[in-house]
Structure 1
């Protein structure tokens, strides 16, 4: 009976049941959506009836279904934004291509949600325009040297705008500065020429130092040789002087001793006898060498010999 009644419900009642079922399902979905679990380093912007209501921080939160809704979800962690390559003209009218990367983070989720439509795109555009303006004040050679200047200027401009946008720019780094191919070829030639100049200069300085070292070595060698020769001569002279002095002293001592002996009794006769013996030995040696010797007329007269050589006076 009951089954027959269920199958015989009017079409209007079935439609009403379907509508209530859909409403109940929507209510369940909204109820589940009203329960929010906010992760760390995230912020949920809640609107009540289309107007900002509050900011949900990390943790569990329950909203009022159909009245409250999460309008924006902001990530508070530091993130990187690639700045695409762009063409810039330097002060000397050289076209270069520059790209970079921005490191930013959200400091005020409300301003980041309502202060600007897309703070990432805005930061990227502002970084590009600031880079173009800074490079326009620099010559091409300085653009490669003044990366820090360009980065600091971009960070300064982005920080001023970031106060309104609710973001903070930590740093901006230039990845590449690419000049035209012709300029790169000229720069490579310039670098090669500079490298060759430094190599030649280093080689010449090395050769100069080498010659200086050799000349100083030769000079010191000559000084050492001359000092050694000087010292040798001084030592030889001192040795010769000492030798002469010793001989003179010995001769003096011997003369004194001979004089003392002569003055003794029989000393003169002993001296005459010794001198006579030496004279005869010398005469014998001269005869062996075939030398001419003048002898007295009477060879057997010994007294005349002594008188001739002055060792004895003639008897009166």
Structure 2
């Protein structure tokens, strides 16, 4: 009898423990649990301690409210110019309504994945191959807007879509590489020709400036020489004028005229001697003994000048 009571007590204890565990539920942060009561949606449990009725309520769905990355499988898209392009992307989404995420779609992850692929094919099909590499931001924005409108009914918010890789066929890659190489060679040739052109311009400009500088230097040198010669002539004239004034003053003094006559006679004789030495013909006076005739002639010249 005592053994039976112990078994019953143990069973009651186990049932009580199970009842407590079924009643008390602790929901982690950034999680949402959907509770069904007798098979019908009843409530969404928020993070923290929650109490439910055992065997009447059950936790039907558990959702993570964090941002979740979803790898979209690669697919082949055809561009507007009929080029096959393999596109690989990644989608970021977040559950915003746990009830809709539970009952809005049987599998919202698969739904948004398929919608991302179909939208991507549609957007790529409207672009040419070259534009697909340039318009990545436009492609990402278009896909997010298209998916987010439909995903709102599933309790999911699509945050962003990023293209990881765009892979054209090998032949297209080789053609693009050749085109890039040709374009770079073209830019190199243009740059070299521009460099030569600028070099020639610089050389011509340098020569022109050097020629101008030389002509300016020659002009200034001519001016300086002319000014020097003019200054020399003026100085010589002033010196001659000063000498003449001094000579005239000396002549007016007592005995000055006689000294002047003697000086003129000496110069006359000296000039006559030099003239006789430098000419082939010998010039002599008619009477060599009368040197006084030379002096008299010199004096006569001086009187005439006076």
For this structure pair, what is the TM-score category when the shorter chain's length is used for normalisation? 0.7 to 0.9
Match of 1:262 in 2: 251
Partner residue, 2:80: 91
For the pair 1:239 / 2:228, whether they are aligned, the reply is yes
Q: Aligned equivalents of 2:140 and 2:15: distance in 1?
A: 52
Matched, 1:125 2:114: yes
Aligned-partner Cα distance in 1 for 2:113–2:213: 76
Query: Where does residue 9 of structure 1 map in the other structure?
Result: none
The aligned counterpart of 2:24 is: 35
Structure 2 residue aligned with 1:173:
162
RMSD: 2.7
Find the partner of 2:39 among 29, 47, 50: 50
Q: Does residue 146 in structure 1 map to residue 135 in structure 2? A: yes
User: Partners of 1:271 and 1:120 in 2: how far apart?
Assistant: 137
Q: Contact 1:272/1:311 (CA < 8 Å) preserved in 2?
A: no
Deviation of 1:277 (Å): 2.8
Partner deviation per Cα, 1:198-245 (whole Å, 9 max, x = no partner):
111111111111111111111111111111111111111111111111
TM-score w.r.t. length of structure 1: 0.85
CA 1:65–1:212 in structure 2 vs 1: closer, same or farther (change >3 Å)?
same
Unaligned runs of 5+ in 2: none
Kindly tell me: are residues 261 and 41 of structure 1, through their superposed partners in 2, closer, same or farther at Cα, counting changes over 3 Å? same
1:158-307 alignment to 2 at 5 Å? 158-283=147-272, 292=281, 294-306=283-295
Bigger shift: 163-172 or 204-213? Answer: 163-172
The yes-or-no answer on 1:311 pairing with 2:298 is no
Contact residue 30 and residue 65 of structure 2 kept, 8 A? yes
Distance 1:33 1:287 in 2: 158
After superposition, what is the alpha-carbon deviation per residue over 1:220-272, rounded to whole angstroms, capped at 9, x for unaligned? 11111111111111111111111111111221222222223223333232222
Alpha carbons of structure 1 residues 98 and 304: separation in structure 2 relative to 1, 3 Å? same
Q: Is the 8 A contact 2:104 2:154 kept in 1?
A: yes
For 2:143 and 2:175, the matched residues in 1 are separated by 29
Q: What is the DSSP-based 3-state SS (H/G/I as helix, E as strand, rest coil) of the residue aligned with 2:177?
A: helix
Query: Does the CA contact (< 8 Å) of 1:306 and 1:312 recur in 2?
Result: no
Note the C-alpha offset of 1:276. Answer: 2.8
Deviates more, 1:30-39 or 1:118-127: 30-39
